[in-house]
Amino acid sequence: MTSIQYSATVSPMPILSLNGISLTIQNHRILQDVSFDVKEGEIIGLIGPNGSGKTTLFNVLSGFLQPSKGTIAFRGQDITTLIPSRRARLGIGRVFQHFGIFREMTLEENVRVALEALPREQRRALGDLEELIGATLEMATLKSHAKQKAGSLSGGQMRLLEIARTLKSGKELFLLDEPTAGVSPKMTHQVADIIQELKKKGKTVLIIEHDLPFIGRICDRVVVLDLGKVVLIDEPEKVRQSRALKEIYFGADPTT
């Protein structure tokens, strides 16, 4: 009998594995050897200065950019060369930094078109469409605005709508790029509540965020990127106190 290489109960397969991801565009090294695993049900914060490669890494994970080197596995399946729609079908959901909302359509219609665009089996698994539209608007705390045109919403409300719409689409892993940018403190709390609700359902979230207290409240681990490299992966409190973080954000000072 051949020996068993691993035990699923001892080390469950990560939902996402990044192995040596590098991306060079026109001699500019944007990502350099980025490797880490994400466990199912984890909330991971991705932080780093502007231009450190966070959004680019999301583009690589969702398939809008091909890495120059390295591989990505989703539940053990190599997805490095899959196009974005195939990755979405496997269960990777992305909320964009810029809205994908149709301003001339009502909120209800905006949710409906997104849900109707899902592959048929995935839509069926979500149950009754009308109920789901209601639940999505409720998640965004916008149910009373259902018949209003989306163009009448504030920037923060649009963002909540976009987040809720993606989060209700039956995905397993979510990529959120600065969901609280331009959002009021009250709405920031709502976004945190929504993410915690997802965690309770066993969903996995990667979130790019500048707001460190927010990261500390919701994340299990934080990945720090600088100049396209992972410089630290740890629990939020340890990252907050780390010298590496202070050096990145406030400049290196080897004497302190």
Ligand X SMILES: Nc1ncnc2c1ncn2[C@@H]1O[C@H](COP(=O)(O)OP(=O)(O)O)[C@@H](O)[C@H]1O
Contacts to Mg ion by CB under 5 A: 54-55
Q: Which does 139 bind (CB under 5 to 8 A by kind): ligand X, Mg ion, none?
A: none
Distance (Å, rounded) from C-alpha 199 to C-alpha 162? 19
Which residues would be at the binding site for ligand X (CB under 6 A)? 25, 28, 30, 48, 50-56
Distance (Å, rounded) from C-alpha 152 to C-alpha 71? 43
Least Å distance, CB 11 to ligand X, is: 31
Which two three-digit tokens encode residue 21?
A: 């991801």
In our burial notation (b when 16+ CB lie closer than 10 A, e otherwise), range 3-38 reads: eeeeeeeeeeebbbbbbebbbeeeeeebbbebebeb
**Closer by beta carbon to ligand X, 56 or else 169:** 56
Q: Which does 141 bind (CB under 5 to 8 A by kind): ligand X, Mg ion, none?
A: none
**Closer by beta carbon to ligand X, 100 or else 134:** 100
| Residue 137: closest CA among 171, 110, 176, 101 | 110
Q: Which does 5 bind (CB under 5 to 8 A by kind): Mg ion, ligand X, none?
A: none
**Closer by beta carbon to Mg ion, 5 or else 50:** 50
Helix (H, G, I), strand (E, B) or coil at 222: strand
Q: Which does 148 bind (CB under 5 to 8 A by kind): ligand X, Mg ion, none?
A: none
Strand partners, 173: 92, 204
User: Please, are residues 14 and 173 in contact by the beta-carbon 8 Å criterion?
Assistant: no
Burial class (CB in 10 A: 0-12, 13-18, 19+), 85: exposed
Which 8-state DSSP code applies to residue 70? E
Q: Which does 117 bind (CB under 5 to 8 A by kind): ligand X, Mg ion, none?
A: none
Least Å distance, CB 199 to Mg ion, is: 23
**Closer by beta carbon to ligand X, 195 or else 224:** 224
Least Å distance, CB 80 to ligand X, is: 18
Least Å distance, CB 76 to Mg ion, is: 29
**Closer by beta carbon to ligand X, 60 or else 142:** 60
Least Å distance, CB 139 to ligand X, is: 26
